[in-house]
Amino acid sequence: MFRRTAFAALAAVAALALAGCGDDASAGSSSSPSSSGTPILSGKVEVFAAASLTGTFTQLGKDFEAAHPGVKVNFNFAGSSALAKQINEGAPADVFASAAPKNMADVQDKNAPTTFVTNTLEIAVPTGNPGKITGVQDFADESKKIAICAPQVPCGAAAEKVFKAAGVTAKPDSLEQDVKAALTKVSLGEVDAALVYKTDVLSAKGKVEGIEFPEATEAVNEYPIATLTKAPNPDGAKAFVDYVLSDKGTAVLAAAGFTAP
């Protein structure tokens, strides 16, 4: 309860806090202790993160680099299922942030994950709602052009829960491999509606409109983050995760619409 209250408080002041707020470094970790005993970080930190974290993690990466001038943060944003597969196939990664616990559990070599935020689905429609979408029941209407995420992707798995709760048999025109692809179809006017996260609607303000619906509470997504046991830069990985979990990281996430677990 305290963490949720603190998160909400940070959301209220995030805009003010954020308002106040080089060259590629060598790969791997080469940290050395400072005079205070704290490691001086260097090298690259490879972060694999869910597509819905693109905006917030890009900002956190810039802030983290500013706090640690010797570090370069590289991101790989995609659907969580695809990222988990890449890591298991040997892709060099230091940190994995998933949009669902299932995809985190699929990763074989990881340290204990921490759930750091939650997110809920919202209906995204083009500005002006030309398709006259009113709720999830419209996703069963074959006359509407609909996009949802593929079922193996967290936003797709959440959509299935929503449709089951609403008693709706969805008839999508396209199944997208990540939530940003679904959002793009809406912003370009290629579909009448898509199920995306609340944070995605906020990030595309002015290009899409959001419609809340009661069944969204049946599919709240928890986002876990973890360092990987084979991380090329373990010190950098730990420091980045700590930064995401810090008050500064929480403020960025809260401003984007994420909520406390």
CB 159 within 8 A of CB 148: yes
Residue 4 confidence (pLDDT): 53
Is residue 38 over pLDDT 60?
A: no
- Cα 84 to Cα 226: distance, rounded to the nearest angstrom: 12
Which tens digits make up the pLDDT trace of 164-221? 999 999 999 999 999 999 999 999 999 999 999 999 999 999 999 999 999 999 999 9
Look at residue 24 and give its three-state secondary structure. coil
- Select the more confidently predicted residue: 16 or 134: 134
Query: Counting every residue, how long is the chain?
Result: 261
Element (H, E) at 148: strand 146-149
Residue 40 confidence (pLDDT): 81
- Select the more confidently predicted residue: 32 or 57: 57
Residue 39 confidence (pLDDT): 66
112: DSSP letter: P
Six-digit token pair at 119? 């997110």
- Indicate the residue type of 77: F
Q: What share of the chain has pLDDT > 90, as a percent?
A: 84
Residue 110 confidence (pLDDT): 97
Residue 18 confidence (pLDDT): 39
Burial of 36 (C-beta count, 10 Å sphere; 0-12/13-18/19+):
exposed
Which tens digits make up the pLDDT trace of 58-83? 999 999 999 999 999 999 999 999 99
Which tens digits make up the pLDDT trace of 212-253? 999 999 999 999 999 999 999 999 999 999 999 999 999 999
Which tens digits make up the pLDDT trace of 79-132? 999 999 999 999 999 999 999 999 999 999 999 999 999 999 999 999 999 999
Task: Give the chain's mean pLDDT.
Answer: 89
- Cα 257 to Cα 22: distance, rounded to the nearest angstrom: 30
Which tens digits make up the pLDDT trace of 26-36? 345 444 444 44
Domains of the chain as residue ranges with CATH: 2-118+224-255 (3.40.190.10), 121-218 (3.40.190.10)
Q: DSSP letters of 75-119?
A: EEEE-HHHHHHHHHTT---SEEE-SSHHHHHH-SSBPPPEEEEEE
Residues 154-171, mean pLDDT to the nearest whole number: 96
